[in-house]
Structure 1
Amino acid sequence: MTDKALEISSPVGLVAGGGAMPFAVADSLVARGVHPVLFPLRGACDPARVERFRHHWISVGQYGRAISLFRAENCRDLVFIGTLVRPALSEIRLDWGTLRIIPRVLKAFRGGDDHLLSGIGGILERDGFRMVGIKDVAPDLLMPEGCLTRAMPDENASADIARGREVLRALSPYDIGQAVVVIDGHVVGVEDIEGTDGLLARVARLRAEGRIRAKAGRGALVKAPKSGQDLRFDLPTMGPRTVEGAAAAQLAGIAIAAGNTIVAEPQAVIERADASGIFVTGLPA
């Protein structure tokens, strides 16, 4: 636990999207004696799993309702966590609180996901809340440095990892994605709106079609935050499905930024990677 994590005020409000991560963060907070309050997003968060925690459902666009609930629950510190399909402006259910800040909301929408989340976070901070990240509230969920698996990157894989990091740094200003697949020095796929699962499925399909001729067990998935990204928002995430996707794409392994990537179900990640013979390693900053 970091010193900064000790400064987190209880209760912590979790604005929860889809996937397992909102609940992993909530469990991490409970284990440290910090009380979580979930604000699950309708249509994204799993209703069955929400019931274990104190919660209030909100919809995207209900800014006025959300800040009233945050204040009623005394949640000064807020976390955005979980997956969410970026809504079109026409799909947002506006309330009076949102209409009050609509020019700032429109400005936040004019950019990539990192720009959007940072923009919404900035709006909340102007209203007296503090946006915090996983590094602050649940550092135990972050990828450590070094290899977690029996398999380790060889010389070829290490070269592919280095190329992948260069590509991600070059793409950072465009706010495109946080992952790339490199095989024998060739960039064969970059993460886009499909996410990492879609990227890996695409690589597997290209192999099946014979458009990737490299031998099975070559290449790496490389994941890292964008350069200059606000690390409170949208950190790269991996879990057992990522391992399954990398195995199906016949890669040698996965390399992710240590300290800045969330690992869901780490024991399952290690077990599935070892069973598939692929490596999972945490890259130093």
Structure 2
Amino acid sequence: MSPDSAQGRGRNAGPVAILAGSGQLPIQLVHHLERTGQDCRVLAFRGFVSAELRRRADAKVDLLDLKSIMQRLEEWQPRAVALVGAVRRPGFSALLGAYSLLRNRQEVRDVIARGDDQVLRGAVMLLEERGYKVVGAHELAPGLVVPVSMTGAHAPSPEDQQAVAVGLDLLGSLSAFDIGQAAIVAREHVLAVEGPEGTDRMLGRVSAMRQSLFGFRKHKEGGVLIKAAKRGQDLRVDMPAIGPRTVREAARAGLSGIAVGAGSTLVLDQDKTLALADRLGLFLIAVELPWMDRTDGE
């Protein structure tokens, strides 16, 4: 069936289709939709989703099985599709590689060669060309988005504020290189920049680097995790997110706190995350991003 004919069947009354990867965001989004009375269907990618979501899923599919993905969406006729949760980059590359059987192969290779952000945008392009409306988790559950007013019981020191400023400058400058969404900075010293391994493993690297000879850290050594959307990032498919696990890993790495981009970052289990940061002695703040304008994410 062509995209035009699919659109003509009236998807406005259909469910929301969640194409789910790993992490807690997919299941939290499903719970939110169910609590608010919104019909949804979950298409779980095998090898990525949590056990809870795997049990809840309406269908399971291999990430590379483009035919089955499109068949399920055609059956469900969703009013919107959300790509939620993490998948390893080779998976999305292979997904678009499979799609190259249906479209210009060189164009797909060019998209893949430009980095993760372009690969994700290629996935959006694939869905939109089939007539599906792609939305972000922040559009479906705006309550998860961090307001600029969010703050915990602890406040950053002047040194921490300096580290936040350096981190934001760094992430803003690195946006063009499609490297990552996070960095760890102590004063003006950059300790780590997020790569394909993700935020938790980056924190693990810093934690390992700071261990003493016997594997124990004598005291909190300071530093800040700064996590924010990249300049020009499409928030529908790759919105930064933190949760309780991020706070625990930041504490294990000896950091003083966490700063996230206001209005463009999701905080999972927000009350629990703030309470955990308070208990572990970490500050948790939202900061405005100078590069986020009205057109970002659209």
TM bucket (normalised to shorter chain) is: 0.7 to 0.9
| SS at 1:187 equivalent | strand
Q: Which amino acid aligns with 2:66?
A: Y
**Corresponding residue number in structure 1 for 2:65:** 62
- Structure-2 change in CA distance of 1:209 and 1:170 (3 Å): farther
Q: Which amino acid aligns with 2:143?
A: D
Q: Which amino acid aligns with 2:147?
A: P
In the alignment, the residues of structure 2 paired with residue 242 and residue 222 of structure 1 have an alpha-carbon distance, to the nearest angstrom, of 11
- Identity percentage of aligned residues: 33
In the alignment, the residues of structure 2 paired with residue 230 and residue 89 of structure 1 have an alpha-carbon distance, to the nearest angstrom, of 16
**Corresponding residue number in structure 2 for 1:3:** none
**Corresponding residue number in structure 2 for 1:156:** 159
Is the contact between residue 219 and residue 252 of structure 1 (CA under 8 Å) also seen in structure 2? Answer: yes
Q: How does 1:117-136 map to 2 (within 5 A)?
A: 117-136=120-139
Q: Which amino acid aligns with 2:53?
A: R
- Structure-2 change in CA distance of 1:10 and 1:31 (3 Å): farther
Is the contact between residue 60 and residue 93 of structure 1 (CA under 8 Å) also seen in structure 2? Answer: no
**Corresponding residue number in structure 1 for 2:101:** 99
**Corresponding residue number in structure 2 for 1:4:** none
Cα RMSD over matched residues?
2.5
**Corresponding residue number in structure 2 for 1:75:** 78
Is the contact between residue 141 and residue 264 of structure 1 (CA under 8 Å) also seen in structure 2? Answer: yes
- What's the TM-score once normalised by structure 1's chain length? 0.88
Tell me the CA shift for residue 51 of structure 1: 2.8
- Structure-2 change in CA distance of 1:278 and 1:228 (3 Å): same
- What's the TM-score once normalised by structure 2's chain length? 0.84
Of 170, 173, 187, the residue aligned with 1:170 is 173
Of 27, 30, 37, the residue aligned with 2:31 is 27
Cα-to-partner distance string for 1:226-269 (whole Å, 9 max, x where unaligned): 10111111111111111011111111100001111111222221
| SS at 2:17 equivalent | strand
Q: Which runs of 5+ in 1 are unaligned?
A: 1-7
Tell me the CA shift for residue 206 of structure 1: 1.8
Q: Determine whether 1:188 maps to 2:191.
A: yes
Q: Which amino acid aligns with 1:18?
A: S
Is the contact between residue 17 and residue 84 of structure 1 (CA under 8 Å) also seen in structure 2? Answer: yes
| SS at 2:131 equivalent | coil
Tell me the CA shift for residue 186 of structure 1: 0.8
Tell me the CA shift for residue 88 of structure 1: 5.9
Q: Which runs of 5+ in 2 are unaligned?
A: 1-11, 290-298
Is the contact between residue 96 and residue 122 of structure 2 (CA under 8 Å) also seen in structure 1? Answer: no
Is the contact between residue 62 and residue 93 of structure 1 (CA under 8 Å) also seen in structure 2? Answer: no
Q: Determine whether 1:145 maps to 2:173.
A: no
**Corresponding residue number in structure 2 for 1:228:** 232
In the alignment, the residues of structure 2 paired with residue 18 and residue 101 of structure 1 have an alpha-carbon distance, to the nearest angstrom, of 28
**Corresponding residue number in structure 2 for 1:259:** 263
In the alignment, the residues of structure 2 paired with residue 102 and residue 244 of structure 1 have an alpha-carbon distance, to the nearest angstrom, of 45
- Structure-2 change in CA distance of 1:217 and 1:145 (3 Å): farther
Q: Determine whether 1:84 maps to 2:87.
A: yes
